[in-house]
Structure 1
Amino acid sequence: MIDYPSFHLMQFFEGYVRNYRRLNLSLQHNRSMFTSREIDYFARLGEWLGFESYIEDSKINKLDGRSRPMDLSWWKMDARIDKENYISLSMHLERENLSKKDEETIEKLFTETEEGYHPEHVIGIQYVDDFERIDYLNQMVLSRNEKLGSHALMIYRYYDQLHDLDRIKAYVFDPQSCTETRHAIAKLDQSQFWYMCFEEEWENSLGGNRAGEEVCVSS
């Protein structure tokens, strides 16, 4: 068996932040367009990395006894190992606009499923009501991922009324714990298009104040 190295998932978040302005999302776009373009960004990224990307792909949910669509999947093909079948589900991504569906999003990412449908990596991108909600959701990720054993990147977005911007909080998990965090902000530029930059860059250039220090939750 060929041993493929795991992705450095935080690099995916860094690329997402650096390239966000290129998605051309303006003040006029609704949240459905945000979902569409962000999923399309990761679909193209998967293809550039050599995977086969599928939007609204299906995955067996054992608890429901039926298939349930994945917003995006990356599948690995290697004829040196198997000439007819994909050798792994390399990534499962979910993108959710509604904060009231934050728990449902995690359930979809970490559902009990059939052999062959266990994703090596998962990415969740979702809106939450506030920073306080994130700790609860991260504890849920740790609990649900005990059986699945995936490497995970969870990206949370919420509105910071004090500074009139969106806060973006990213957390990387291995199967046992949270291992890394990175923070960014999202704002409208002078042309009323959304861009992102890392929190420390925004603070250095504009004199912003840090909205509290965030750390990984403990397992």
Structure 2
Amino acid sequence: MSGKNYLDLMQFFEGYVRNYRRLNLTGDHNRSMMTNREIDYFANLGEMLGFDSFVEDSKFDKIKNRSRPMDLAWWRWDSLGDMEHYDHLALHLERENSFNKDLDTIDKLFSETENEYIPHNVIGIQTLNSNEKIEELNKVVKGRNSCQQSKVLMVYRYPDVEKELERVSAYLFTPRKADVAKHAVCKRDDFGYWFMCFEKEYKFYEAKTAKKEVQLL
């Protein structure tokens, strides 16, 4: 056993998809504002689950010999144990909207650091310009995690030009367990607000809409 406390990260992804419309994001919001809303969502989730959430929390990188802030950290407090220190870093989350910073995001999630800053769980949410690099990035993640042994959820968001929407693919990596993947879509509704739903739901909606159109002919 690794001794780590793994969380149900895929369930967190399902909640992220179901609640995305509640972030009230429109086409008028820039990437920075979208990133902040998403980080705030997970910060609030952490607090509701009993963790202490910190945005831009410091984390020392031994290789770079400097601190590199985490977009979001969940710290676990053990009220029955040491009253002066946190029990462990439960989650390190990074949200990156720049296409060319995908490897940097992974590097931050799996940086060589002090033992107490090694996260038990990590979530990386990365915007890409296509799905072509996903397999390559996942190989890098699994390679880096072979030492860290965290439970990992990588979420990639990329455009589908033909369908005029964005795809959201989530991959769960747990040490010594089979990988799991789930897929969703993200698009704007009739009022311009971004929402998400799972791919199967969207396909069902498309089929239902197509059937109605045929009936009207």
With normalisation by structure 2, the TM-score equals 0.92
Q: Which residue of the partner structure matches residue 20 of structure 2? A: 20
- Separation in structure 2 between the aligned mates of residue 139 and residue 4 of structure 1, nearest angstrom: 22
Looking at structure 2, the residues matched to 177 and 141 of structure 1 have their Cα atoms a distance apart, in angstroms, of 15
1:148 aligns with 2:148: yes
Task: Give the structure 1 partner of residue 91 of structure 2.
Answer: 91
**Corresponding residue SS for 1:63:** coil
Task: Give the letter aligned to residue 160 of structure 2.
Answer: D
| Structure 1 residues 49-98: Cα deviation after superposition (integer angstroms, max 9, x where no partner) | 00000000011101011111000000000121211100000000000001
Contact 1:72 1:92 in 2 (8 A): yes
Change (3 A) 1:119 1:113: same
* Percentage of pairs with the same residue: 53
Large movers: runs of 4+ above 4 Å: none
Task: Figure out how many residues of one structure are paired with residues of the other and give that number.
Answer: 206
Match status 1:117 vs 2:111: no
Partner of 2:160: 160
| Segment drifting more, 79-88 vs 160-169 | 79-88
Per-residue Cα deviation, 1:138-163 (whole angstroms, up to 9, x for no partner): 00000111111110100000000010
* Equivalent runs, 1:24-35 vs 2, <5 Å: 24-35=24-35
State the match for 1:171 in structure 2.
171
Shift of 1:130: 1.2
Larger radius of gyration: 2
Secondary structure in structure 2 of the residue aligned to 1:182: strand
Give the distance between the partners of 1:82 and 1:185, measured in 2 at CA.
44
Shift of 1:180: 0.7
- Residue by residue, what CA displacement relative to the aligned partner does 1:188-210 show, whole Å, maximum 9, x if unpaired? 000000000000000001139xx
Kindly indicate whether the alpha-carbon contact (under 8 Å) linking 2:121 and 2:152 is maintained by their aligned counterparts in 1.
Answer: yes
SS of the residue corresponding to residue 54 of structure 1 reads strand
Task: Give the Cα separation in 1 of the matches to 2:159 and 2:108.
Answer: 24
Report matched runs for 1:34-45 at 5 Å. Answer: 34-45=34-45
After the TM superposition, which residues 1-219 of structure 1 pair with which residues of structure 2 at under 5 Å, given as runs?
6-176=6-176, 179-207=179-207
Alignment-mate amino acid for residue 18 of structure 1: R
**Maintained 8 Å contact 1:57/1:70:** yes
Code of the aligned partner of 2:179? T
More helix as a share of residues: 2
- The question of whether the paired residues in 1 share the 8 Å contact of 2:4 and 2:120 is answered with no
Q: Which amino acid aligns with 2:99?
A: S
Give unmatched runs, 5+ long, in structure 1.
Answer: 209-219
The whole-number CA distance in structure 2 between the counterparts of 1:178 and 1:165 is 30
CA distance in 2, matches of 1:29, 1:75: 30
**What is the rounded CA distance, in whole Å, between the counterparts of 1:29 and 1:178 in structure 2?**
37
Q: Secondary structure at the match of 2:70?
A: strand
Gapped regions of structure 2 (runs ≥ 5): 209-217
Letter in 2 for 1:116: E
Moved more, 77-86 or 49-58: 77-86
